[in-house]
Structure 1
Amino acid sequence: MGQPDGLAGNESGSTKLRRTAVSGGVAMKPGQFGQLREAFVDFRYRLRRDGAGSLLRLGRKVVEFWNRPQSVSEFDREFDTDTEKNVPLWRLNIDSANRTQGIRYQSLAPILIRNAIEALPADLNNFSFCDLGSGKGRVLMVASEYPFKEVIGVEFSHELHIIANNNLRKYRSRKQARSTVSTLHLDAANYRFPSGNLVIFLFNPFGESVLRSVLANLERALIQEPRAVWIIYFNAVFASVIEESFLFTRVEAAIPAAVFRHEATAI
């Protein structure tokens, strides 16, 4: 993937924003709907033919899928970390009322993280970086390559939080800046944002109700202390929640994510 071209300026209307091709949403490729329909018809036939036995076999296949060996990424080989393997939430012990709102842990390619950060037309020295749903900490490690005031991860799974801390202890890169990196074992819905300008990173970490709680907390913080905020939202399933806010403007970005900004003078 090439270097991003940066972010376009804010527009007064929403027409151009709606037609942007890099909104970060999820769309079916041609033919996928037909394949899904065929799979459903086949499953219904097998259920009638084989009864509950077909469900048991399907369950075994799902377990085998999640237990299959996964290749070690170049990132993990280089830094002796554990960030690549996907983890479904049903494998984790999570003490949170929002457990069902969580999305499985899945890693994001480092180049996408770097491209997103480098696309921001901002002096990163004046910003703190917050990754909500930080998982095993890969985004935090990559963000530590940039001169943020601090880098903060928020994760509601204790097991993933421990893995992230272990990874951060191992991570040594020549690109690392002098950022302070910390992780919090906390439900993002209860997180209170730090003072100062913010870059908030989301990789579709939770459902709509938690995102609304996070946004409400952020809006209160901005009213109390006006400052600049950028939101980078990959796989932006609930981007409409942020679009509804009068404090944020969606902007075009040369990255496959939804990007929003709030200017310090916007309130």
Structure 2
Amino acid sequence: MKIFTYLHYFFYVGFNWNFRIAITIINQEIKGEKKYTIDTTGADELKKLYKQGIDISHATMYMPISYLLLEEIFRQLSFATKKHFLDIGCGKGRAMCVAAYNGYKNITGIDFSKQFCEDATNNLKHTQRKFPAINYHVTTVDAMNYEIPATVDCIFLFNPFDVVIMSAVVYNILESARMYPREIIVAYANPLYEELFLEEGFTEIFHTKEMKYLEAAILKLPALL
């Protein structure tokens, strides 16, 4: 039963952050999962991947972005062209599903966990029942080696890995922007390495931080001529 998932997640957030924020987040989780009819709640420290011999040294644990913060990001993205949404480190697909509710029809997600990609695909199948026109693709791949599609105009990140991989991701984004000049928006939750983007010509156009842990920035890269 999902109640046990919520309880486990509540205590996980409570012990690792604090119980005040845990109450807020669990209320959001219950409402959000019901609203979007998906299953993305939970925390995963990637121990199973480690036992499978997969290098997790540059990865961060799985925790979904809070629905409150995610919905605020999409409110701020109302101006976007909405051609192609890419979630790098997509986990179980929460951001991709919410993107569909916000008008994105071409949606791509990548993650180095095959299980997460399968979970994301299942959640997107549910979402597609409400939005039959969406085209989605989820791939199991290392973000360091991923070539950003030419049509992507919005990229989502929720602190999925450390500075080593993030540096490579920034490089990959810039390479795509040089090869196919266009404006690119990056929605970056828990933006620990935002400076990497700013140093390469991105401009912060929105920033929010609440309850210490709920933080996000929206960055814009103009078309490179």
**Shorter-normalised TM range:** 0.7 to 0.9
Where in structure 2 are the equivalents of 1:25-40 lying within 5 Å?
Answer: none
Structure 2, unaligned runs of 5 or more: 11-28, 210-214
Task: Give the match for residue 170 of structure 1.
Answer: 126
Indicate the SS of the match to 1:73.
Answer: helix
Residues 1:215 and 2:154 aligned together:
no
Task: Give the match for residue 226 of structure 1.
Answer: 181
Residues 1:140 and 2:96 aligned together:
yes
Residues 1:261 and 2:220 aligned together:
yes
Task: Give the match for residue 155 of structure 1.
Answer: 111
Structure 2 CA distance, aligned partners of 1:168 and 1:137? 7
Deviation of 1:217 after TM superposition, in Å, equals 1.2
Indicate the SS of the match to 1:148.
Answer: coil
Residues 1:243 and 2:198 aligned together:
yes
Structure number with higher strand proportion = 2
Compare 190-199 and 212-221 and name the one that shifted more: 190-199
Residues 1:76 and 2:33 aligned together:
yes
Choose which of 77, 92, 95 in structure 1 pairs with 2:49.
Answer: 92
Deviation of 1:200 after TM superposition, in Å, equals 0.6
Whose radius of gyration is greater, 1 or 2?
A: 1
Choose which of 72, 76, 79 in structure 2 pairs with 1:115.
Answer: 72
Structure 1 CA distance, aligned partners of 2:96 and 2:126? 13
- TM-score of the two chains, using structure 2 as the length reference: 0.76
Where in structure 2 are the equivalents of 1:3-82 lying within 5 Å?
Answer: 69-70=8-9, 73-77=30-34, 81-82=38-39
Structure 1, unaligned runs of 5 or more: 1-65
Percent pairwise identity: 24
- TM-score of the two chains, using structure 1 as the length reference: 0.65
Residues 1:124 and 2:124 aligned together:
no
Judged with a 3 Å threshold, the aligned counterparts in structure 2 of structure 1 residues 172 and 227 are, in CA distance, closer, same or farther, namely closer
Amino acid at match of 1:69: H
Asked whether the 8 Å contact 1:107–1:138 carries over to 2, the reply is yes
Indicate the SS of the match to 1:124.
Answer: coil
Amino acid at match of 2:199: E
Deviation of 1:118 after TM superposition, in Å, equals 2.3
Q: Kindly tell me the number of residue pairs found equivalent between the two proteins.
A: 196
Deviation of 1:184 after TM superposition, in Å, equals 0.9
Amino acid at match of 1:263: P
Asked whether the 8 Å contact 1:124–1:146 carries over to 2, the reply is no
